[in-house]
Amino acid sequence: MPAAKPTTAISGDLVGSIDQGTSSTRFMVFDTNGEMVTIAQREFEQIYPQAGWCEHDPEVIMETVHTCIAEACKNLEAMGRSIKDIKAIGITNQRETTVVWDKTTGKPLHHAIVWLDGRTNATVKQLVEKSETKTTTYLQEKCGLPFSTYFSGVKLRWLLDNVDAVKKAHDEGRLAFGTIDSWLIYNLTGGLDGGRHVSDVTNASRTMFMNIRTLKWDQEILDFFNVKAEILPEIVSSAEVYGNVTKGPLAGLPIAGCLGDQQAAVVGQRCFNPGEVKNTYGTGCFMLFNTGTKPVISTHGLLTTVGYKLGKDVEAVYALEGSVAIAGAGVKWLRDNLKIIKEASEVNELAANVEHTGGVYFVPAFSGLFAPHWRDDARGCIVGLTQYATREHIARATLEAVCFQSKEVLDAMNADAGTELALLKVDGGMTNSDMTMQIQADLLGISVERPAMRETTALGAALAAGLAVGVWKDLDNFKAGQKPDVFEPKIQAADRASRYAEWKKAVERSLNWV
């Protein structure tokens, strides 16, 4: 089964990777050893029309992609390298974020609704009520997912019900629906002039529309949602040529890899064996557990998703996933809303000034709680406040909240797997904090392994693309760079259990608010 290492490749070959995230777009270039050669990044506006809603402008996202590619190419040439050494581009993207556009104009019909947007509460309730079982798990055996505000199919149903232009385009056969990967590939390969409307299996598995076993759109599910099949993208593998870039400095280059960001991190972290687990700490927090070539339906609040399918004729590998909505976004909230820090990195400095949280617990359920709770009635709360509490305690409680939520997910994975996991591989922006990773090891009671090269999400997409075009003959023996950092737990089991029990009490306080 394809996995991860450049075997002997032509010296100087490079692979590009578009990493389109929730708050920024990046373009990175990697060499055949998996080392990053250059990077360009642009943040873009978060649009909040109402409390609990979050949107992006799809056209602005495309602008940031083109800008980052152009800047990275200039960087490369300034280093004395040729952009002709780039042999392919991979794409990794924020998942579930939903884009709808008009096939006749190529223009969006609404802002993209972001994965963490909570506006579809009523839509979820309507779908549950419509189901035969009256439960959120009605379709889970087929698609691997419960009814939730999280998934793009539910967001599409809201758009059809609430935006006249979208409904009209659907009725008239003009509507195109996709996640961010579909929007990027469509535009990069020509848009109205021959652009391909596709989505790879990892992103398609997050819509609720794809049968998790057949890897095809499921007509019974589409009928349930009252959605026409012709608006959907073609489902493709994670490693094949989808088309060529049509403009800019990389015109003519094949786009040959695509994975949702969390699945890309699975590939980048080389979690290719059943039982291996990685956790990505970004805007949200996402833990994936490789279950092999057969999907496993969780009984403990986890999602079943496609982990990767590295080629048209290669078996798909599946994963159980625990998704946490607010991780780095909690730090951003401290910065932008409470204004108790000026830069995100300051949260670590504040938290380091105290040895504990002073009994303060922060449950950042801004748009409800995802795995393993799946409670859209939850809202954020800070509990345990006394006159002793300071902004330092709140900063530390914010870091601990990420780690407690990850422990809840890992406990669910242990329950589904029937075995205790001994190692967690980690990546993402928050892993730059040694303090956060030590807290995570302490609260889990197991080793936490952080790679030296932490851009594993972008690397995963680059590996898929390079595999598809033959930069690497296979990826079985890939070993990236230096040895990882390993954090070992330093607290006693009794202390861990006591703090976790207090966290559970705090979570109970967050429930039943809406």
DSSP string computed for 86-114: EEEEEEEE-SS-EEEEETTT--BSSPEEP
Closest CA to 412 of 423, 399, 400, 421: 421
Plot region of 63 (φ>0 → left; ψ -120 to 50 → alpha; else → beta) = alpha
Cis, peptide link before residue 372, omega less than 30° from 0? yes
Both 213 and 354 in one domain: the answer is no
Structure confidence at residue 477 (pLDDT) = 55
Give the N- to C-terminal CA distance of the chain in Å, as an integer: 46
Residue 452's SS3 state is coil
Residue 228's SS3 state is coil
- Alpha-helical (H) ranges within 79-192 are 121-130, 140-143, 152-162, 164-171, 180-188
Domain-embedded: residue 321: yes
Residue 476's SS3 state is coil
Both 27 and 158 in one domain: the answer is yes
Structure confidence at residue 275 (pLDDT) = 87
Both 86 and 148 in one domain: the answer is yes
Distance CA 434, CA 449 (A): 11
Distance CA 155, CA 152 (A): 5
Domain-embedded: residue 474: no
380 secondary structure, DSSP code: -
Place of tokens 């409307």: 197
Closest CA to 11 of 89, 90, 82: 82
Distance CA 72, CA 79 (A): 11
Domain-embedded: residue 9: no
Domain-embedded: residue 478: no
Q: Can you give the residue range of the structural domain that contains 89?
A: 14-269+452-469
Domain-embedded: residue 391: yes
Cis, peptide link before residue 6, omega less than 30° from 0? no
Both 261 and 240 in one domain: the answer is yes
Place of tokens 């974020």: 97
Sign of the C-alpha dihedral computed for residues 331, 334, 335 and 336 taken in this order:
positive
Residue 411's SS3 state is helix
CA angle 103/108/110 to nearest 5° reads 130
Distance CA 121, CA 53 (A): 11
- E strand map for 246-340: 254-260, 277-281, 285-292, 303-308, 317-324
Distance CA 321, CA 304 (A): 6
Q: Which residues pair with 27 in a beta bridge?
A: 18, 40
Q: Which residues pair with 47 in a beta bridge?
A: 55
Both 107 and 165 in one domain: the answer is yes
Residue 290's SS3 state is strand
Contact status, residue 378 vs residue 355, Cβ threshold 8 Å:
no
Question: What is the Cα 442 distance to its own chain's centre?
Answer: 25
Question: Could you tell me which residues come within 8 angstroms of residue 223 by beta carbon, excluding any fewer than 6 positions away?
Answer: none
Distance CA 457, CA 91 (A): 10
Structure confidence at residue 241 (pLDDT) = 97
Residue 197's SS3 state is coil
Angle between helices 391-417 and 493-510 (to 10 degrees): 100
The strand pair at 285-292 and 277-281 is best described as: antiparallel
Both 280 and 388 in one domain: the answer is yes
Both 261 and 275 in one domain: the answer is no
152 secondary structure, DSSP code: H
Amino acid at 101: W
Question: Considering the entire predicted model, what is its pTM?
Answer: 0.86
Distance CA 160, CA 177 (A): 11
Structure confidence at residue 11 (pLDDT) = 47
- The tens digit of pLDDT for each residue in 162-219 reads 999 999 999 999 999 999 999 999 999 999 999 999 999 999 999 999 999 999 999 9
Q: Which residues pair with 331 in a beta bridge?
A: none
Segments of the chain scoring below 50 in pLDDT: 1-11
State how many domains the chain has: 2
Residue 178's SS3 state is strand
Structure confidence at residue 428 (pLDDT) = 84
Both 248 and 361 in one domain: the answer is no
Domain harbouring 182, CATH code: 3.30.420.40
Structure confidence at residue 211 (pLDDT) = 97
Structure confidence at residue 7 (pLDDT) = 37
Instruction: Name the helix (H) or strand (E) containing 200.
Output: strand 198-200
Both 191 and 102 in one domain: the answer is yes
Q: Using CB atoms within 10 A of its CB, is residue 456 exposed (0-12), middle (13-18) or buried (19+)?
A: buried
Write out the two tokens for 95.
Answer: 């998942």
Distance CA 316, CA 238 (A): 9
Domain-embedded: residue 426: yes
Distance CA 351, CA 395 (A): 5
Both 130 and 191 in one domain: the answer is yes
Both 356 and 377 in one domain: the answer is yes
Domain-embedded: residue 38: yes
Domain-embedded: residue 8: no
Both 113 and 198 in one domain: the answer is yes
Q: Which residues pair with 56 in a beta bridge?
A: 112
Closest CA to 425 of 316, 277, 312, 242: 277
The CB density around residue 466, as the number of other CB atoms within 10 Å, is 29
